[in-house]
Each structure stands twice: as structure tokens, then as C-alpha cells.
Chain A
Amino acid sequence: MSEGRTLAGVVGLCDDAESLLCAAEAVRAAGYREWDCHTPYPVHGLDQAMGLKNSPIPAICLSAGFAGVGAALLMQWWMSAVDYPVRIGGKPLFSWPAFVPIAFELFVLFSALAIVCSVLVFCRLGRWHSPLHDSDVMRLVTSDRFAVVLCSKDRLFAEREAAALLARAGCGEVRPLYEHEEEDGSLI
């Protein structure tokens, strides 16, 4: 069946979110580490079922925001009180209330950029090819099906056991996933 192609993993497909949740709990209980669920939309409770930790993005976002405030205040102080001091209306050179709007804007700008960079890194975006992308499974999980993928890199992985685990966990359909799978004919 494998025709000499390298196995990348095993995919179990579910038809609804509830069976996916059960399957995810079973896989987690079996001790797998290199695995993931693929869904068309965020499924409530799946993070707990998979045992995922809280995302560090909020902390990163907040730190970047305060870095933005710092950068804004430093820039405005240096430019208008040190490098090119101009006394306007007898006010102090570092008249901080005037510098609040830009500090706020840079808080938002830096946080937003930090969020986007974190999303790119943590969601592993910018990788256009993977065994999953090249398979039919991708088309199903961005539409209306749910998949549990056990990666062959996992130390517990063995094709038969993995497939049996997924079938036992309630996946209606279990498929092998190969590296560089042939593209199907629908691509014109």
C-alpha cells in the first residue's frame, strides 16, 4: 500500500466536533506528543482536551505595548528637549501631557505588530507545503470535517497502532499520510 513512499503520519477523520473531542482526549491519554487536530473553525474545549497551555501572546502583546510607550516618550523627549529644544509658550521642554497621544498610538502600534509577529511564529505560518497541504485532507478540514493527525515523528508512533488508536477513539475514517503525495487530477 505504501509503494515505497515515506509515511508522514496517520489521519483520523471525524464528522462532528464532539467525536473529535473524544478522539483528542484518547490520543492525549495514550501519551502522544507530536500530534494535532485540524478543524474548520475553533472548537470549544479542544484546547483542554488536547492539554494545550495558554498562549503567551497576551503577555508578549502587553510587553510590546509598554516598549512602544517607552520608545515614544524617549523619542519625544530626546527630539524636543535634548537635540532640538524649542521653548513654546513658556512650557517646560519635556511637557509630558502633550506627548501622551503619540505614546498611546505607539502602544497600540507596537502591540499590534507584536501580535502579528507572534501569530506568524506560533501558528507556524509561512509554511506553504507539508504532507497535509499536499493531501486531500486539507480540503476537508478547511470545509466541514475534523481531523486528528498523528505524526510519524512521535516516539510512540507505529502505523498499525496509531491507526487502531484513532479507530478506537471514534474516528469514522482513518487514512495514512505520505510525504510528497501525488496531487489529484482536479488541479487544472
Chain B
Amino acid sequence: MFAVICALQFPLVHTGRPWLAYWLLPLPNANGIWVNFRSPLLWDVFAVSTYGTVSFLFWYTGLLPDLATVRDRARHGLRRALYGILSLGWTGSNRAWSHYEKAYLLFAGLSTPLVLSVHSVVSFDFATSVIPGWHTTIFPPYFVAGAIFSGFAMVATLIVIMRKFFRLEHVVTEDHLDVMNRIVIATSLMVGYAYATEVFIAWYSGAAYERYAFLNRAFGPYAWAYWTMVVCNVVVPQLLWLRRVRRSVLLLYPIVILINVGMWFERFVIVVTSLHRDYLPSSWDMFSPTWVDVSLFAGSVGLFLTLMLLFVRFLPAVSLAETKAILPGSQPPARRAGGGHV
């Protein structure tokens, strides 16, 4: 969710006149015109705003019981009042739990296709354009796999530090790291497969511009970026096949850091190498970031880390109620057949 907040800045800056960003929405206006619903850019407006809203609601709903716990443990009056207000008066009533658990399950169910849709829609922004290297049908699944891949790598990057600092090794165990790394390796293979397919189709399609775009990626002036991406995203994660690497913080940490770097380079390769040489050689150029580009990037990293640190400082980072519910001995033994609880 913090990443969504950071990410939202960029389209806002990109509108050129951010104070007119509301023009993106289908609002009645004096000109009597409407936004173009056939444009993926508009789909993106809906996808990203829905994603942001639903992520926030899911996150806040999940925090409610824990906010109540924090409220009742707070010693300071102001803290108690603030957490009290935020917890919306949660009492741990089972009549509430009964509805709450259904609601939470539904939220999880809604969020899964939402993740697929938001990344597919973002990829449509590229795929429906005519730029060689962007105009491909593989983009939606490729972006979804890339998002899960980089998402898990980023979560691993953060959780490894958090479990160390907050001594959560008994809560976020090596088993958890292990299964996360299994997902990383699976999605790494998907991403690698997508890279290979792109290259194959560029050759197989016989489209000259497409073929040139990929030759230029791999052997042109930005070959270093392309091969950094391939090495970080496809080659390095192969080390995670080894059980020892998956379970060792020291061994897996450099790998997940490299994946973060690799995924940044993936965006760079997609955006820059396709644009710097398109149809007309007269418009060819090299990309050199301005100080504004660099500071926007640095600013987004700073914003993300600030929000993240504020979150772990003031709110429970690991769900208290969920952890309690799965502790050994926390649930009554099943007494009759079918007495289970969904």
C-alpha cells in the first residue's frame, strides 16, 4: 500500500499539470465531453484507484482487532484515546468475529484477482501502443509474474531486517522464508520464460522493427542494462533451488537485493530501450536522467521507507489476533465430526 502511494506520485507528475489531475475522472464538465473509455490509460485510472482503495480498506480492516489490543495495553492516555478511536470500539465479541472472518476472507478473495487486473491493466498501457518492444500480447502475464516476483523479493528484503530488529525469528520462521523463496524461484522462471518468449516472437514474427528492438536491447548501447536484468532476475535466483540458500538469511539476502535491482532494470529496459530507438532514426537518442528524475526516484524511496518505519513504529507489524489463533493449544480440540469452522 505504501508502494501504491509512492507509485501514484509519478502519473500525477506526468500529467504535467497535477492540479488538473481530476480531468482524468469521468466528471461532468462545461465542455460537455467525457473521458475516453476505450483507452487503457483510463482503465489504469480505475485500476490503480480501486487497487489503492481496496488495499487500504483490507489493511485497515485487518488491523481492527489488533488496534483494540494496543488500545487496551496503552498506558498513556492520549495513545489510549487515539488507538481507541482507530479501533472503532472493537470488543472481540464473537458475534462480530463471525461476520469479521467472513469479511476478511472475502477481502482476500477480492484482492487476488485485483492484483492480476491492476498489473495487466498497467501492461495494457504499453501493449496497446505501437512502440516496438511494447506492442506484445505477452505483457499482461509477464507483468503479473514480474509483480509477484519483485513483490516477494521486496517483502523478503523488509521482513529479514524486521525479524532481526524486533526479534521475530520465532514468528517469521525459516519455514516462512523457505516457502517465500519457492515462490520467488517459480516466478523467476516465469519471468525468464517471458524474456525468452519476447525474443523468440521478435524473431519468429518476422517484424523488422520488433526484431531490431530486441537486437538493440541485447547488443545495443543499453546491453549492460539488459544483461543486468537477465542476470539478476533469472540467473541469480537459480541459487534458491538449494535448500540451504533458501533458509539462510545471509545467503538469501544478497539474492533478494539483486532481484530488486534486476526488477528496476526491467522497467528501465522496457521504457528506455524501446523509446530511445523507435521507427525514425532521426529521433534516436540516448537517455540521460536529469536531476529532477534522480531526485524523484530518491524521493519515492525515502517516502516508502518513512511510511514503512512509521508503520512498524506505531502499528502492529505482525497480526496479533492471527498469531494467537494459530498458536498450539489456542483452539479447542475438534469434538464432533464437521464441527470445524471456515
Contacts and interface: CB of A to CB of B under 8 A. Distances in A.
B71 A45 contact: no
The interface size bin for chain B is 35 or more
B324 A105 contact: no
Interface string A117-142: 01110111111111011000011011
Q: Which of A75, A91, A109, A127 has the most CB of B within 10 A?
A: A109
Q: How large is the interface on A (under 10, 10 to 19, 20 to 34, 35 or more residues)?
A: 35 or more
A47 B77 contact: no
A70 interface: no
Contacts of B238: none
B99 A119 contact: yes
Contacts of B33: 84
Given A52-B98, A112-B53, A187-B80, A101 B47 contact: yes
Given A37-B94, A119-B61, A55 B99 contact: yes
- Most chain B CB within 10 A, of A47, A101, A116, A125, is at A101
Contacts, number: 217
Contacts of B113: 104, 108
A39 interface: yes
Contact of A57 (B50, B68, B92, B102): B102
B117 A126 contact: no
B100 A119 contact: yes
Given A80-B37, A105-B47, A129-B89, A44 B332 contact: yes
B64 interface: yes
A42 B73 contact: no
A172 interface: no
A105 B96 CA distance: 28
Contacts of A37: 93-94
B94 A38 contact: yes
Interface stretch (B171-179, B257-265, B334-342): B334-342
9 contacts: A17-B331, A40-B321, A58-B106, A101-B40, A115-B107, A124-B89, A125-B90, A133-B89, A142-B69
Interface of A: 16-18, 20-21, 36-48, 50, 52, 54-55, 57-58, 61, 75-76, 79-80, 83-84, 86, 88, 91, 95, 98-99, 101-102, 104-106, 108-109, 111-113, 115-116, 118-120, 122-130, 132-133, 138-139, 141-144, 186-188
Interface of B: 26, 32-38, 40, 42-43, 46-47, 50, 53-54, 57-58, 61, 64-65, 68-69, 71-73, 75-77, 80, 84-85, 88-103, 106-107, 110, 113-114, 117, 121, 124, 321-322, 324-325, 329-335, 339-341
